[in-house]
Structure 1
């Protein structure tokens, strides 16, 4: 992310999960004015939406350097996304692989819609930069998390809105262990502890059990990725 020159204003796609919280911390560290946007699409793990304000308050309360930078939060409801999909992310069905070899937690068009709504809001709010936590290094294989897909969306949205949005995906080349390390670099152990305690990643929305890496069922793909990254992070020399 480049921050030289005029005041930098950014919109962060913020779900309340580990990745988007790390992206929000990075934006608060590097940008002057930061707004957030979240989406309610009837996801099974809608508990993540309740964590968003807890995290926003903690990031400004406990990290003095970031105070004054966090602006408005926006919540967009797109329930039609769940109505059109047959995904384990939006319906109470078993998590399996589909015919294409993708986890059936994949919600077709989800990230494409997220970016479109974010760009529409950024256009109205006068925000140039849009930060999102998509990653193709350590992920579940979702095609709309790939760098090519994000770059294509940037081109399409700029053409369609006659704008100059810049889509930043700072986690694109990081695995989960590196994402934990980035959080530690940005906010030290305090930020790592906040992410463990307050973020939500589990696809089933399960916050009954507190693991060393956070809350979750411990068995869904999201929990497995997060736990694996945590173990690798703690085993690394810098941890």
Structure 2
């Protein structure tokens, strides 16, 4: 008999990682989550992580029994190194390198390295992340070739056979909304709209059709654009 598959989801509490959590719960036998406190200015996402997890347990009994422990790792020291718009109160802009100043250098590399160390202890062979090339905002550590190289390095350095899964890698934000409907129907869409958090400014005032947020930071721009495209297309599901 094959061994039960165990996955660790990099779970920020945002739209993408919430869809990835549902995706992992649909495919794996046991799923745990890990979040990273790196001093992000939108620290409200850390609180919303628990709201989303509780909502999944309440609304999706087919997944509730698969959802295991949550872990939070303190990476505030790392976050302070980059001095980006993600960790300091500064305007969002493009840097001299042509990258948005929301890019935290090496963030996904560090996150996945810490996640792999945790996965080794938790006996999880799959690391699931919401990295995406299609709507990646210019972040070079969201590219699949970067993650393939890291996967090789982690497995060589830890004598493991980790698989880094990136279910959103080739999807637009509109397709990510469609995938959420495929996985959990309107109930999952509603949960992501109301309870996930993506806005870089940490705004959780008015609930818009697409969710909470300021509406004009880089994260909100992508989320709103994807929502509008998905709605204009008739709110379809995504064929798997």
TM-score range, shorter chain: over 0.9
CA RMSD of aligned residues (A): 1.1
CA deviation after TM superposition for structure 1 residue 209, in Å: 2.3
Which stretches in structure 2 are left out of the alignment for 5+ residues?
Answer: none
Is contact 1:139–1:225 with CA below 8 Å preserved after alignment?
A: no
Q: Which residue does the alignment assign to 2:72?
A: 75
* Secondary structure, aligned partner of 2:134: coil
Distance 1:74 1:178 in 2: 29
Which of 22, 27, 42 is residue 25 of structure 1 equivalent to?
22
TM-score, normalised with respect to structure 2: 0.96
After superposing on structure 2, the runs of 4+ consecutive aligned residues of structure 1 that deviate more than 4 Å are: none
Please name the residue that 1:110 is paired with.
Answer: 107
DSSP 3-state at the match of 1:36? strand
Please state if 1:92 is matched with 2:82.
no
Give the aligned partner of residue 149 of structure 2. 152
Task: Please point out which of 45, 50, 54 is paired with 1:53.
Answer: 50
Counterpart secondary structure, 1:34: strand
Alpha-carbon spacing, 1:93–1:173, altered in 2? closer, same or farther (3 Å) = same
Q: Contact 1:112–1:153 (CA<8 Å) still a contact in 2?
A: yes
| CA deviation map 1:128-179 (0-9, x unaligned) | 0110000011121100001111111100000110110000000000000000
Partner of 2:116: 119
> Any idea what the Cα deviations from partners look like across 1:37-64, whole Å, max 9, x if unmatched?
0000000011000001111111011111
CA distance in 2, matches of 1:197, 1:237: 20
Match of 1:203 among 200, 205, 225: 200
Q: Measure how far apart 1:238 and its partner are.
A: 4.7
After superposition, give the CA deviation of every residue in 1:106-137 in whole Å (9 maximum; x if it has no partner): 00011100000000000111110110000011
TM value normalised by structure 1: 0.97
Q: Does 1:233 align with 2:230?
A: yes
Q: How does 1:129-208 map to 2 (within 5 A)?
A: 129-208=126-205
**In structure 1, what is the Cα distance between the partners aligned to 2:235 and 2:78?**
41
Give the distance between the partners of 1:38 and 1:25, measured in 2 at CA.
16
Which sections of structure 1, spanning at least 5 residues, go unmatched? none
* Structure 2 CA distance for aligned equivalents of residues 91 and 84 of structure 1: 11
Q: How many residues align?
A: 236
- Rounded to whole Å, the distance in 1 between the matches of 2:18 and 2:198 is 11
| Secondary structure of 1:218 counterpart | coil
